[in-house]
Structure 1
Amino acid sequence: MHTSEQNKKDSYQQSIQELVSAYEADTRLGLSETEALARLERYGRNELPAGKVIPRWQKFLAQFQNVLVILLLIATAISAGLWLYERESALPYEAIAIFAVVLLNALMGYIQESRAEEAVAALRRMSAARAKVVRDGVQRSVIAAELVPGDIILVEEGDTIPADARLIQTTALQTSEAALTGESLPVSKDTGLITEPSELGDRHNMIFSGTTVTFGRAYALVVAIGAQTQMGRIAGMLAMVPPETTLLQKELAHIGKLLGIIVMAIAIIMITTIILIGKVSSLAVLMDVLILGVALAVAAIPEGLPAVVTAVLALGVQRMACRNAIVRHLPAVETLGSATIIASDKTGTLTKNEMTVRVVITASGRIEMTGTGYSPKGEVRSCSPGNNDYPDNFPQADPGVMEEDKASGRIEGALRHELEWALAIADRASNAVLQHNADGWRVEGDPTEGALIVAARKAGLEADALDARFERVGELPFTSERKLMTTLHANKKKRECLLVFTKGAPDALLTRCSLELVGEETRALTPERRSEILKLNEELAAEALRSLGVAFRSLPADAFEADRADESIEYNLVFVGLIGMLDPPREEAKNAVSRAKAAGIRPIMITGDHPVTATVIAAQLGIAEDRRVVTGAKLEQLSDEELDRTVKEVSVYARVNPEHKLRIVKALQRGGEVTAMTGDGVNDAPALKTSDIGVAMGITGTDVSREAADMVLTDDNFASIVAAVEEGRTIFSNIRKFLRYLLSSNIGEVLVMFFGVLLANIIGLQTEDGLIVLPLLATQLLWINFVTDGAPALALGVDPPGAHVMRRPPRAKGERVITPEMWFGIAFVGVITAIGTLLVIDACLPQGLIEGAGSIPYAQTMAFNTLVLFSLFNVLNARSDKQSAFVGLFSNKWLWSAIPLSLLLQVAVIYVPFLQHAFSTVSLSLRDWLLCAGVASSVLWLRELSKLIYRAASQASRSPVAQQP
């Protein structure tokens, strides 16, 4: 195979035959999977080169770039230097302990960031762009990065072009190349040969990677991938995308800075007080005091909070991906908790998107079809009396058909002729492909078109026979403005004429029809007959059937060039019939609607379907029992003020265009609603971008809609949106949980140190010669920070959702991460922690309010142990500000793994001789442990009492308690 670089002429200057030969391609069958894999191995993936990868050792060293950590490392070096000078112990235990804790904290931070990066990378792989390609004669969807030179790709309206390719077949193709050439208007494309050298913008027979299809469709031969594409050459190397900073992370950073200022002020006051009152007499004591001040700041400031938040967000988003919702922008996770409206399309989202033709109505009668899904098996029967015979090539009735079905009339004569024409038109005016594999029957392409193909097969119209009779020579793709799709075919029976096959919305189609097919003849379509057809269409809608009209006309073969046809050929058509299809509601959608309502979220249906169909489905799902509906035509007549009032009351919108979605979104937002809006088409992009949470369809959605969206549904299911809201609320709730835990525990430590120094002479921490003894040593503070702020905090970050998560109203838009109620709980726990720990110190020392008989190391060890146990009891409190800690006590298996781990580490630091030296601890008795545990448990019981009082007060005032953790 020769690449374009090996040829003297560029791809756009070569004929299709030359390129097909050079790339050893096959325009009909495409490459084989074996050959595609071999080329993928040879030429690499269709990706731009990534930016320089940061080595792991550099990422690890980055953990030590925090100012406070650097100060600790300096303190470690000074402590080790003093040990070398004084040699008062066998080893520099303090220096070793400080360095070990700093190292462990760095390791924990590195692991958290690595897990977050892995989670984000996994999400990128899940949301990788896809391309439609022909392999082994079958059209299929593959990851765009796996395209190779020589592949035959299909691009359609809304697609992002995955590689540079030479066009080999086009249908009214236009592309937007603004990202590559700066040309603001769409560029028309065709397959014509260009002989002279041309600029990029003039290469009309080429399509380029990264540009988008705005109209039409085409098949093309891939000639360049990855860095060899025009976009790749211009871009050079893909710069590393900076990490996205969410509003949540910015607010947490602000909280961290605020706490840092407060704690640093306290540390300075403490250090100054100790130096002035504590009679610091040596350099070693002075260094101990300074190290203590730094250690206090490190222990109290949650400097690792952004990393923990990133890890929790990334892991939570990965869980959402497992529930078929891929979040493309992290801020969407925060917004999900505030969503008050889910504005959803109907087809495929609230329904199964497995259309099945149930009814065909023509001039001579009504035909019904049985069967479900995409299997081309089912009975075709007439509901018109007097038709007694099936055509020979129609399928036999299924064995399970009911007796009354067997008695129905059979199809012959005029009705048979009309049915064949209706389904032939529907089959040919389609781009879907019906395929059969080990998993059963499936449709590649639009589900509606797939249903039409299945119906044709049920009626005995086989693809090969239709291909032989009607060769497609042109196409006018569907647009939301015309609501029609038209194909042109060479009529093999009458070679002097072309056949125009059109399908689309019946009301739009009828305006372009002047005749009707009756048997083998055509008759004038009278106003009375038009009214009758529209009434039949209404009756189909009342049966919750989606209807399409089909029509045709004949044109002279030499009238125009088929590949340059315009919509003028869609007039003077012969109307053939109506086709009614059923897309049943998803079984899980009704439950999802109910859950959304219970969560204070109002579901809204916005569809292009018939108003009656929309109201029937909406009523079945519980979206709108009142069956009120506003059509697109009515919506256009409403002023903004009238629309603002309407969206507050109406939950069903039918026959709307994508442009109407934008008006609805803006009206909802003016009313203070936080809206999640679904979309799948190119024209949906503005609404998706404007809405608070844009949700694109992963199966039926276009690349343009996915790029504009914040979230992509891999299964196009409404239930997945509700599941994403639940996960989003859970993630935000869990962030609040570990914030509540970290801040309350850290404030408790600060208060112990601060008041321990200020009240030293009252609780026995001041010696007879006036020297102040610290409640805790620097190494002990750092250990508490490592043991309690590590595993337990992360375990809270993955706390499972409680039953209450979807029973409370949405979080108010703009509500702060830490509410006044949370601050009260944090301060309450911090004060209890400080009082309890200081009382334990007092009870252990011979002087003070409570008489004791222990030594200073013993009292410090008791305080050290009590603080750790306070934190471990507090982690149970932190799961909710209002709900009892005993509700769902054992639901978080990670938490009940983290607590024993922290206890085991604490036991080790108290009893292992080497760690005793390093952290200046002494062994404690069982009685001591019981005392520490009894005092520390007070934080649980007192917090439970405060929650009980709150719930009682709320109930007394008859205000509902929002069980929000």
Structure 2
Amino acid sequence: MATNRVTGESLAAYRLPPDAVVDALGSNAHHGLSNNEAQARLEREGPNELAASRPVPGWRKLLAQFREPLVILLLVAAAISFILWLFEQDSELPYEAIAILAIVLLNAAMGFFQQARAEQSVNELQRMTASQATVIRGGEQCRIAASDVVIGDIILLEEGDTVPADGRLIQSVALQTAEAALTGESLPEAKEPEAIVGEAPLGDRQNMVFSGTSVTYGRGKAIVTATGMQTQMGQIAEMLEAAPPETTPLQQELARVGRLLGLVVIAIAAVIIGTIIAVEHVSGLAGLVDVLILGVALAVAAVPEGLPAIVTAVLALGVQRMAKRNAIVRHLAAVETLGSASVIASDKTGTLTRNEMTVRAVVTASGRVTLGGTGYQPVGDIQSGEGQDLINAPLKHELERALTVGDRATNAILMEEDGQWHIQGDPTEGALIVAARKIGLADEMLDARYERVGEVPFSSERKLMSTLHTDSEQQTHIQVFTKGAPDVLLSRCNRERVGTETRELTQERRADILRINEELAGEALRTLGVAARQLPTETFDPDAVSEHLETDLVFVGLIGMIDPPREEAKAAVAEALAAGIRPVMITGDHPVTAAVIGRELGICHDNQALTGAELDKMPDAELGRRVQEISVYARVNPEHKLRIVRALQEKRAIVAMTGDGVNDAPALRNADIGIAMGITGTDVSRKAADIVLADDNFASIVAAVEEGRTIFANIRKFLRYLLSTNMGEVLTMFLGVLFADRIGLSAGNGSLALPLLATHILWINMVSDGAPALALGLDPGDDETMRNPPRPRVEGVITRGMWAWIVFVGVIVSTGTLLVLDASMPGGLIEGSGSLAYGQTMAFTTLVFFSLFAVFVSRSDHQSAFRDLFTNHWLWVSVLLSLLLQLAVVYVPFLQKAFSTVSLTPGDWLLCTLTASSVLWISEATRFIVRRNHHRQKSHGDSPLNLR
């Protein structure tokens, strides 16, 4: 048999008759492929498996933690410090180099272990595929490994099977498949072999079956058109692999800060070293070593050694807080991105809705009844169309009859396990059972009265299903219960149930029922008609049960059902809108259903929904305009979702994409932040996402956004703190050397003297500043967190206003420190009498105290430091800890030796404290003036100041 390597996809198999596809693929609908031909194709095309991504070795993951510019800068500083130690040998060990390396390794370890679970989306996709398949080979039916299925194989599908590969249907007997994970469609799709005219999106290809989906009803035969990576599942896997690694705004900003600090370090060191060599006429190896030591000291002063580790630690602590709010973070950097989200692009099924069909309305001859409650829990209010809890007798009889028919004409089972209700079988049938339980029709009662004695299975041609039952209360008759498409069912009915009686079904009444059916459809309700008839027991033949019994029926009513919105989703959408976050629905469901759900949730205020077919015809430029207006997208496939997300990102939106299905995985990977459902979500979506919701609750997304905003605000606080104190250190070193003669800074032997030693600065950066900075990351959020719009994508983590404040505080810190240094040594502007070691110890202690006062100043960019002063207990603990550590450095002998410090008197401590407190009082006065001017401008109608 000749092999045709053209796949069904390239043939557009859904548009061709089944026999044409079979011929094109060189197969036979009755005998299938021969074993030899199948083996040859398997060897040529490869197994029916998804290509697994090559695992990244652990050492490469660890090395990736050292790529940030700030970390590289630290490593360079450590290397220079170690080389100088080799030349000088002024201490037993290279303390500076060791300390820097310890911080770098700590940061790398934290990042490595937090993100150790590497992405395995493709591997999880592979797990979803079927392990076994039933095929026809050489005219015989056999079971083979799904990986051995090849293009051209004839596969047989039964209820409960997982489809092993993409295929074109040849035969179908009431076949239905669940494709929610692939297309987003809530209900199982009825499958028919007839060719489709024209283009059809994935969700509308009713003559195709797809790898990884499951058969929920009926049986069928199909010819395989695509295997492995050529299947729809495989194409999603390719998109996942092709997704470029994204860097978050925080990562980009820290990289920028690292590069900037590197340039500043090089510039300052070069200017100072060049100036000293030229002015001081430095010569000889000893003099050059002194100058190089100064360069290292400047590098140590400029680089906040603890910053990478503190960022990682604060994000990790934030992750723990978010976990308590049911948001499990898989990637640390995703935390601050979520807080910056301006768009939440959400899947509908299972995310905004429950992915559980629920009966909303039952319409009978005497009126309409509305059923409350959602999902499969059999609890909910029952109200008449007028909103009354009391239902009149005729309507009550009709309601019970309609739901009795709906309950009995099913094959689904309602079960409760560990307090959770779920359906085994078709979700539509499950919804009918739940509705019957809500009005008090117990399963035991119905089973006792109606015993099934026959069934006419559902057929896509008839669009009906009937069951036959004995009736313990009317033993002379067999009850026929039928459900199906309302228009088809009406054509089989000649009477209608009214109360406990029946009456003739007139043409006017038929038209009225069809009109009501259209109204229900306009509410996005999926409708079913239910009808019944009685057969004399003596004439009933169990062996003659067929569709001829579906005539002379009595119409009982219409049942409207929907996959309802989550009860908490509407409030969550409103909260997101209030926070300036725009919710967008992207679903594979029907546009009418999507628009109604979107309007009900408050996502949109009209019935406008853009479809995937319209997207295909839309150029990128037009889509770029429409994404700013359209909030509901329907009948879309994975490629459409990616295109929408990217169009939003091109408009500078920070997109958080939520979803639960396989079809959502590429968009989850490419969005700025991917959020997967933890309960209903597939392993694929969870592995592709940055954040997983433990409770599948849309409201948890908004709670996570709030937490993310709080974390981001705290990151800004400790960045403001660390960089301002580092700015003070740099200016202290720079100005101290530049004006050494003016402030009496001299080593006494003609050699170069420094205001601070490199070990002093390293101690401040890593120990004294570390604990308070970490405590700032635990600051609680305030009431304004969700009242402000999201941070613009173009706005850096550190704004111009923050840089101005950092320099302002740095000038205060350096000025105060140098004045204390001057006052501690002879000569200079303020006469003192201490030694160089004493002066350096005083400057060292003053700088530590400056950092402790600055931590309170850094809690807000415009509010008073005394506001909510005691809400963060960890901040006070960290300040006390830093104070105790400084006492140890000054008084413990071995630490005195390591840090070249001397003991201080109580008067010395008082001077250091009073001087350092100046940063608090000057900051308070400055902010008071700014706030007062802001209120004045606001009262005069001027635009508010940007205090950031």
Using structure 1 for the length normalisation, give the TM-score. 0.66
2:879 aligned partner: 899
Distance 1:911 1:962 in 2: 48
1:726 is displaced (CA, Å) by: 1.7
> Retained in 2: the 8 A contact 1:546–1:609?
no
> Which of the residues 211, 214, 217 maps onto 1:213?
211
Q: Is 1:775–2:755 an aligned residue pair?
A: yes
Which amino acid in structure 2 is aligned with residue 835 of structure 1? T
2:528 aligned partner: 549
> Retained in 2: the 8 A contact 1:274–1:772?
no
3-state SS, counterpart of residue 853 of structure 1: coil
1:302 is displaced (CA, Å) by: 3.4
- 1:334-733 equivalence runs, <5 A: 334-344=336-346, 349=351, 357=359, 359-362=361-364, 374-376=376-378, 405=390, 408-409=393-394, 418-425=402-409, 427-428=410-411, 434-439=414-419, 441-442=421-422, 450-457=430-437, 458-461=440-443, 510=487, 514-516=491-493, 518=495, 529-535=510-516, 538=519, 546-550=525-529, 577-580=557-560, 588-589=568-569, 591-603=571-583, 628-630=606-608, 653=632, 656-658=634-636, 673-681=653-661, 693-702=673-682, 711-733=691-713
3-state SS, counterpart of residue 805 of structure 1: coil
Q: Is 1:790–2:793 an aligned residue pair?
A: no
> Retained in 2: the 8 A contact 1:501–1:552?
yes
Give per-residue Cα distances to partners, 1:894-937, cap 9 Å, x unaligned: 33332222221111110111111221111111221121111112
Which amino acid in structure 2 is aligned with residue 459 of structure 1? L
Distance 1:697 1:549 in 2: 30
> Which of the residues 764, 779, 782 maps onto 2:744?
764
1:883 is displaced (CA, Å) by: 2.7
> Retained in 2: the 8 A contact 1:858–1:922?
yes
2:156 aligned partner: 190
> Which of the residues 817, 837, 840 maps onto 1:860?
840
Distance 1:200 1:350 in 2: 30
Which amino acid in structure 1 is aligned with residue 131 of structure 2? A
2:82 aligned partner: 73
Distance 1:450 1:940 in 2: 66
3-state SS, counterpart of residue 902 of structure 1: helix
> Which of the residues 904, 908, 922 maps onto 1:928?
908
Distance 2:813 2:686 in 1: 50
Distance 2:929 2:427 in 1: 57
> Retained in 2: the 8 A contact 1:596–1:602?
yes
Sort the Cα spacing of 1:303 and 1:852 in 2 relative to 1 into closer, same or farther, 3 A: closer
1:36 aligned partner: none
Sort the Cα spacing of 1:860 and 1:411 in 2 relative to 1 into closer, same or farther, 3 A: closer
1:955 is displaced (CA, Å) by: 3.1
In structure 1, list runs of 5 or more residues that go unmatched: 1-46, 84-91, 131-143, 146-158, 171-178, 193-198, 205-209, 220-229, 385-401, 477-483, 494-498, 563-569
- 1:9-28 equivalence runs, <5 A: none
Sort the Cα spacing of 1:470 and 1:201 in 2 relative to 1 into closer, same or farther, 3 A: same
1:723 is displaced (CA, Å) by: 1.6
Sort the Cα spacing of 1:954 and 1:511 in 2 relative to 1 into closer, same or farther, 3 A: farther
3-state SS, counterpart of residue 190 of structure 1: strand
2:187 aligned partner: none
Identity %: 49
Distance 1:333 1:60 in 2: 18
Sort the Cα spacing of 1:109 and 1:707 in 2 relative to 1 into closer, same or farther, 3 A: closer
> Retained in 2: the 8 A contact 1:351–1:584?
yes
- 1:84-99 equivalence runs, <5 A: 92=91, 95-96=92-93, 98-99=94-95
3-state SS, counterpart of residue 909 of structure 2: helix
2:193 aligned partner: none
1:686 is displaced (CA, Å) by: 7.1
1:262 aligned partner: 264
Distance 1:788 1:364 in 2: 79
> Which of the residues 244, 252, 255 maps onto 1:253?
255
Using structure 2 for the length normalisation, give the TM-score. 0.67
3-state SS, counterpart of residue 434 of structure 1: strand
1:762 is displaced (CA, Å) by: 0.6
Distance 2:890 2:660 in 1: 61
After TM superposition, the structure 1 stretch with the greater mean CA deviation from structure 2, 899-908 or 785-794, is 785-794
> Retained in 2: the 8 A contact 1:119–1:318?
no
1:304 is displaced (CA, Å) by: 5.5
> Which of the residues 893, 896, 905 maps onto 1:913?
893
Distance 1:503 1:705 in 2: 35
3-state SS, counterpart of residue 579 of structure 1: strand
Distance 2:63 2:643 in 1: 50
Distance 2:696 2:670 in 1: 20
1:835 is displaced (CA, Å) by: 1.0
Sort the Cα spacing of 1:883 and 1:590 in 2 relative to 1 into closer, same or farther, 3 A: farther
1:165 aligned partner: 131
Give per-residue Cα distances to partners, 1:664-717, cap 9 Å, x unaligned: 767866766544454445666676677655544444445565566554433232
1:225 aligned partner: none
1:821 is displaced (CA, Å) by: 0.9
3-state SS, counterpart of residue 814 of structure 1: coil
Distance 2:936 2:488 in 1: 65
Distance 1:584 1:71 in 2: 64
1:120 aligned partner: 115
> Retained in 1: the 8 A contact 2:405–2:532?
no
2:853 aligned partner: 873
Distance 1:834 1:472 in 2: 90
Give per-residue Cα distances to partners, 1:99-121, cap 9 Å, x unaligned: 2x544444444444433344335
After TM superposition, the structure 1 stretch with the greater mean CA deviation from structure 2, 939-948 or 835-844, is 939-948
Distance 1:709 1:334 in 2: 15
> Retained in 1: the 8 A contact 2:354–2:564?
yes
Distance 2:883 2:892 in 1: 14
Q: Is 1:751–2:751 an aligned residue pair?
A: no
Give per-residue Cα distances to partners, 1:865-888, cap 9 Å, x unaligned: 111111222222223322332333
After TM superposition, the structure 1 stretch with the greater mean CA deviation from structure 2, 107-116 or 575-584, is 575-584
- 1:13-52 equivalence runs, <5 A: none
Sort the Cα spacing of 1:715 and 1:841 in 2 relative to 1 into closer, same or farther, 3 A: same
Question: Over aligned residues, Cα RMSD in angstroms?
Answer: 5.8
Distance 1:474 1:930 in 2: 90
> Retained in 2: the 8 A contact 1:698–1:716?
yes
1:849 aligned partner: 829
1:293 is displaced (CA, Å) by: 2.3
2:205 aligned partner: none
Q: Is 1:947–2:921 an aligned residue pair?
A: no
Give per-residue Cα distances to partners, 1:462-492, cap 9 Å, x unaligned: 697999656797898xxxxxxx997978979
1:730 is displaced (CA, Å) by: 2.7
2:303 aligned partner: 301
1:439 is displaced (CA, Å) by: 2.9
Which amino acid in structure 1 is aligned with residue 850 of structure 2? F
Sort the Cα spacing of 1:307 and 1:692 in 2 relative to 1 into closer, same or farther, 3 A: same
1:862 is displaced (CA, Å) by: 0.6
Distance 1:422 1:587 in 2: 26
Matched length: 789
